Amino acid sequence: MSLSPLAIVLLAVTLLLGVGFYGLLVARNLIKLIVVLQILAKAAMLAFVAAGYGQEHMGLAQSMVAMVIVADTVVAVIALALAVQVRRHYGTLDVRKLTTLRG
Amino acid sequence: MALWTSSLHPFLWLIVIPVLASPVVYLAGRLAGAALARWLALIALIVTCAPCVLAAQELAANGAATFTLGLVQLQFDGLSLLLAGLALGLGTSVTLFSNAYMRGETGEEKYYAALLAMIGVMVGLGCANDLFNLWVWFEAMAVSSYMLVAFYRDQPASLEAGVKYLVQSAAGSVLVLLGIAAVFGATGQLSLASIADSVRQAGATQATSAGLLAAGALMTVGFGVKAALVPLHTWLPDAHSQAPSGISAMLSGVVIEAGLIALLRAVSALLGEGDAVARFGQLLLLFAALNMMLGNLLALKQTQVKRMLAFSSLSHMGYMLLGFGVAAYTGQSAAAQGGMFHMLSHGLMKGLAFLAAGALLYTLYVAKGAHGPLMVNDLNGAARRYPLAALALGVAVLGLAGLPPLVGFMSKWQIFVGGFQAGDTLVALLVIFAALNSVLSLAYYAPLVNAMYRREPSHAVRLGAAMPPTMIVPLVVMSILVIALGVWPTLIAWLTEPAGQALLAGW
């Protein structure tokens, strides 16, 4: 059985999403959490490419993905800056230790 | 090819001025001291009010305006005007308020730069006319608000709030993006109007409708994180209570409403004709009930003032959802207008409440270099030393509870009237539930007023610093608005009516 290119890409999207959401549930290290968020964003980008491929709007899809990459990098940069400050003030990157705010 | 296919409309300046002023303010603050940044930000926002008035007049005279630049199309309709007016009005008050509140903090110029950028992109979010554009504005708003929530980067609590907010929002925005990809894959369109057209014409083949259903669900959850629909709300109390008070006012008063507007706009385009709109209305009503109940119950047990106000934002999101849900479920235009009115009045009242609480927090703690939370007990006897701030906080929380003749009563009343006019048992029961919730909310608002006016001054109040006049001015102006719009609600009909119509036009 041979898979169509679109099916392969969609399979990859599903896999990335699976890894991403599983990671969101189990990751405890803040840096790992940021990596997981990046994996999720990559899944969304790949989904865009697949949609563009299916609809034969590849140019539009690619330009949008370039935009998503920029926006996503900004988020990652801010997240890493926060992680640096968290390490400095809590002495750990374990998100389970961030428990000052309750109720 | 001409890149500019239409002339410059005044509404563009609403986006351009704050966004361009943002780096200028930052550089000015860096090179010439924070004082320049403080006043430059305020001047930029006051200058922006002029095109806002022009754009409103143009909208009333000629209807919705569009601007096209390449593939990017912006449309300024009633809903955009409401969001722009709210963001600019509240933003100006917050900038004036922050003048004293943020003075001397490290990175003060970054605060004003991020605040200006956030206001500009929120106006842009209201004008976005295609799905991808909507996401870009939404993400820009999120990015600027991450920086503002975690502004006190040396306080562990503020960092924790920032981390929670960032991780949940970023996951939500990925879901939105997946939803947009699904729509793009199913219809090949991104512009909201052409998506709506192609959904109507296709009459939904099996494969497309499955894709659109998935997209609708993904976008509801993704935008729902920002709009704090109840199971997705857990970042809100932390972020809203730990941010600097001016930012709490912006977040509660405008940002969650902007999330709701993005949700309504994006999902409305996917519904097509038939009973999909009514079913979307039922979904909104379900979230309305959850938000009202959980927000009120959790607010009841809070001992920190800002955290209590943050939880009450959840219940007010519920009232707005009730208005929009009734409008979608039964097609009642009065309820949609009521929802828009409540969006506006909540922005005003919650903004005022956070600013007044912030003013007290400033005089009791921040002015002395301490960063403790403002507890309800700290407010004891505050009215004796700070009569204006106490009056403003009292007016705001009683308005939020919905006591006449304040604006909160009128906006809730309009939603309830719209609900009863629908003549549907389920809706009528929900409206009664909402009214009971409104009474329940007095149980946590009234003790605040009681503490300020009837108790002996607390230790913190007796030692409190003087309140700077730049803080009192926005409090007084907003209190007057809360009372005046409650007595003459028709004064604001020019803003809420076109917004309600713009929303209903999509259904």
pLDDT tens, position by position, A5-59: 888 989 999 999 999 999 999 999 999 999 999 999 999 999 999 999 888 888 8
Q: Does A93 touch chain B (CB under 8 A)?
A: no
Q: How far is it, in rounded angstroms, from Cα B391 to Cα B393?
A: 6
Q: How far is A6 from chain B (nearest CA, A)?
A: 11
* Yes or no, beta carbons of A24 and B171 under 8 Å apart: yes
So what's the pLDDT on residue B205? 60
Tens digit of pLDDT for each residue in B31-41? 988 889 899 99
Question: Which residues neighbour B433 within 8 Å (Cβ) at sequence distance 6 or greater?
Answer: B289, B292, B293
CA-based nearest residue in chain B for residue A73 = B143
**pLDDT tier for residue B204 given thresholds of 50, 70 and 90:** low
Which segments within B29-171 are labelled E, that is strand? Answer: 65-69, 72-76
Tens digit of pLDDT for each residue in B354-384? 999 999 999 988 888 887 788 888 888 888 8
Average pLDDT score, chain B:
89
Residues 15-54 of A with CB under 8 A from B: 17, 20, 24, 30, 33, 37, 40-41, 43-45, 47-48, 50-52, 54
Rounded to a whole number of angstroms, the distance between the first and last alpha carbons of chain B is 35
* Yes or no, beta carbons of A54 and B185 under 8 Å apart: yes
Residues B223-248 have a mean pLDDT of 92
Structure tokens at A17: 């999403």
* Residue B435 backbone dihedrals phi, psi, to 5 degrees: -65, -40
* Yes or no, beta carbons of B166 and A24 under 8 Å apart: no
- Over pLDDT 70: what percentage of chain B? 97
Residues B421-446 have a mean pLDDT of 91
Q: How far is it, in rounded angstroms, from Cα B165 to Cα B436?
A: 31
Q: How many degrees, rounded to 5, is the angle at CA A78 between CA A76 and CA A79?
A: 60
Residues B428-455 have a mean pLDDT of 92
Q: Helices B333-364 and B256-271, interaxial angle, to 10°? A: 160
Range of lowest pLDDT (B3-7, B65-69, B314-318): B3-7
| Residue B8, CA distances (Å) to B55, B76, B85, B181, B413 in order | 11, 12, 19, 31, 40
Give bridge partners of residue A29 from the DSSP assignment. Answer: A94
Structure tokens at B227: 């709009």
Length of chain B: 507
Q: How far is CA A2 from the centre of its chain?
A: 29
* Yes or no, beta carbons of B163 and A86 under 8 Å apart: yes
* Residue B188 backbone dihedrals phi, psi, to 5 degrees: 75, 10
User: How many CB contacts within 8 angstroms connect chain A with chain B?
Assistant: 112
Q: How far is it, in rounded angstroms, from Cα B449 to Cα B447?
A: 5
DSSP string for B299-339: HHT--BHHHHHHHHHHHHHHHHHHHHHHHHHH--HHHHHHH
Instruction: Give me the domains of chain A, ranges plus CATH numbers.
Output: 5-97 (1.10.287.3510)
DSSP reduced 3-state for A56: coil
Structure tokens at A55: 């609809």
Alpha-carbon torsion (B375, B377, B382, B388), positive or negative: positive
Residues B351 and B252: beta-carbon distance below 8 Å: yes
Structure tokens at B115: 């605040």
